[in-house]
Amino acid sequence: MSDSSKDVAVEPASAKANASTAHRTTGDLVKAAVSGWLGTALEFMDFQLYSLAAALVFKDLFFPAGDQATAILGAMAIYGVGYIARPLGAWYFGRLGDRIGRTKILYITIALMGVATTLIGFLPTYQQVGLLAPLLLVVLRLAQGFGAGAEISGASVMLAEYAPEGRRGLISSLVALGTNSGTLGAGLIWAILLGVVGTDGVIAWAWRIPFIGSIVLLGLALFVRAHLKESPVFVKVQQAGMEEVLSDEELLEEYDKPLPSKKERRAQLKADKKREREEAKRVAASERMKVKRSWKAFLAACLLRFGQSGNSGMVQTFLITFLTAYWLVSKDVASNVVVYSSLVGFITVPIIGIIGDKIGRERTYTIITGIGLLLIIPCFLAMMNNRGVADTPELVDGVSIPHFGNPDLMFFIGYIVLHNITVLALFSLENISMAECFGSAHRYEQLALSKEIPNLITAGFGPLIAAWLVQLFNGSWIACAVLMFFYTGVVFVTSIIMPDVTDRDLTIKEDAF
């Protein structure tokens, strides 16, 4: 028997597996980046489509006419319902992602979320079926939320585990660019619809177009994720300790066996690979369960998310409602300001990611939130004092009321600065910072839960709380500013207290602190 024959007979399949999975090419990194960007773009377009629709038209479509304040509260409440399901999705899919891999879960979550969004476009209105309309909307929002609970966290984990040290902040910022793309896309869609068919046309029928049309982006996202390779960090952890499959005695016995046929070798190799995969999963799961979760790392990640998502719910959701319902800014202006700010965000997000790579994530957090605390009130004053002239009539509960249709430049600058500093810049830092807080044993689950539990409180019901506070303050913007001071201050304090985790080894099983 030749040496080469012996090698074929006894070579462990895991050695070949390691050779093929230990390295990821630039092409693999690009695919992961596109997948992360596209998936989060779809997620945020889905949710921003609803949030803008809730602010602009859903209060007229899914609730009885006659009481605008109640309709706004109802639309914001259904917006919040989607966030109830997100922690459940985070827990369920996060645990699965740590066990069976990132790619499978990312495929499932994007499909669930995208189908629910498309179906919203086929819903009947309150005028057609009464209370059944908001009930059906609640069901689809729950499905959206269940899938979204592990979508953005999965994309964050995937890019963090693909990215090389020293560039993690920049590459992981693509997740934030995805959310910005989704926000921009949703804002553009509503701006175009309002500009082409007008408010009456949108309320009558055109509101369905963006929801039904989102199926195109869903198909593209599914195609990309179907061809995505597993995270190299996850593969390395799964294969740890599985290099030696056969004992020395078993290896010696292999030399005395007759050389199998080609068909037998192929069948044996296939069986060996299957057995080793199952054994690797069992060993990895056993080792993973031995690793304790750190409450300190989890709390720090939750607080970072709490502040960012609170500001996001305020600026990207409630503030749009506030501008149109209380400050009487026209709906097309409210849509346009989101578009302009999202365009600026394509510059803000990667720059913040690069700065975080250079000087450290926590130091960058402290600087950005400090600037944000100084600029909140000036930004609100810039918007409030520069609305222009109320010369654009719009219907409110069947009555034509003049709205502000041509604000001054400072109005747009105020919103853009507020959005980019307190929302987009923090989100650029958040994804990689939270991923580096956790060890490989429970990273997906812990990251998903630390994102979605605070999200439920702030982005889910923050706008509802804001709506109640604004009514309590007789329509004053001060209620919005106070909430944003609180959210931004939480991140500021957390960034000072927590240790720096920049470029931590992501293959370490234990949490950072």
Task: Give the pLDDT score at 252.
Answer: 52
C-alpha distance from residue 276 to each of 241, 261, 321 (Å)? 11, 22, 56
Structure tokens at 6: 């012996």
SS3 454: helix
CA distances from residue 342 to 178, 289, 316, 327, 345 in whole angstroms, order as listed: 11, 42, 10, 22, 5
Reading the block at residue 67, the tokens are 């009481």
Pick left, alpha or beta for residue 503 (phi over 0 → left; psi -120 to 50 → alpha; otherwise beta): left
Q: Is the C-alpha dihedral spanning 453, 455, 458, 462 positive or negative?
A: negative
- Does residue 262 lie within any of the structural domains? no
Mapped onto helix, strand or coil, the DSSP state of residue 392 is: strand
pLDDT tens for 42-92 read: 877 877 787 778 767 777 788 777 666 677 777 777 877 888 899 999 999
Decide: helix, strand or coil at residue 399: strand
Separation between Cα atoms, residue 251 and residue 158, nearest integer Å: 38
CA separation for the pair 206, 295 (Å, rounded): 48
Residue spans of the chain under pLDDT 50:
1-22, 241, 243-246, 251
- The answer to whether residues 125 and 61 touch, using CB atoms and an 8 Å cutoff, is yes
Q: What is the DSSP string of 204-243?
A: IIITHHHHHHHHHHHHHHHHHHHTPPPPHHHHHHHHTT-S
- Whether residue 489 lies inside any domain: the answer is yes
What per-residue confidence (pLDDT) applies to 397? 60
Q: Are 52 and 44 in contact (CB under 8 A)?
A: no
Phi, psi angle pair for 276, to nearest 5°? -70, -35
Tokens 């599914």 -> residue: 222
Alpha-carbon separation of residue 77 from 132, 134, 423, 464 (angstroms): 16, 11, 22, 6
| DSSP secondary structure code for residue 294 in this structure | P
Number of Cβ within a 10 Å radius of residue 48: 25
Q: Does a structural domain hold residue 248?
A: no
Q: What is the pTM of this model?
A: 0.77
CATH at 478: 1.20.1250.20
3-state percent breakdown (helix, strand, coil) of the chain, nearest 5: 80, 5, 20
| Count: domains in the chain | 1
Q: What pLDDT shows up at residue 130?
A: 86
Does residue 47 contact residue 148 with C-beta atoms inside 8 Å? Answer: yes
4 is a domain residue: no
Q: What is the helix (H) or strand (E) element at residue 273, kind and residue range?
A: helix 262-290
Query: Is residue 27 domain-resident?
Result: yes
pLDDT at res. 55: 66
Q: Does residue 157 sit within a domain?
A: yes
Strand-pair partners of 402? 393
Tokens standing for residue 123: 């819903």
Q: Which tokens sit at 355?
A: 């700065």
Within-domain flag for 252: no
Residue 497 buriedness (CB in 10 A; 0-12 / 13-18 / 19+): exposed
Provide the 8-state DSSP code for 328. Answer: -
Q: Token pair 């209380």 is at which residue?
A: 326
pLDDT tens, residue by residue, 302-337: 999 999 999 998 998 889 888 888 888 887 888 789
pLDDT value at residue 9: 36
By percentage, how much of the chain surpasses pLDDT 70? 84
User: How many residues are recorded in the chain?
Assistant: 513
Q: Which residues contact 499 (CB under 8 A, 6 or more apart)?
A: 362, 512, 513
Q: Is position 274 within any domain?
A: no
The boundaries of the domain holding residue 380 are 19-233+294-497
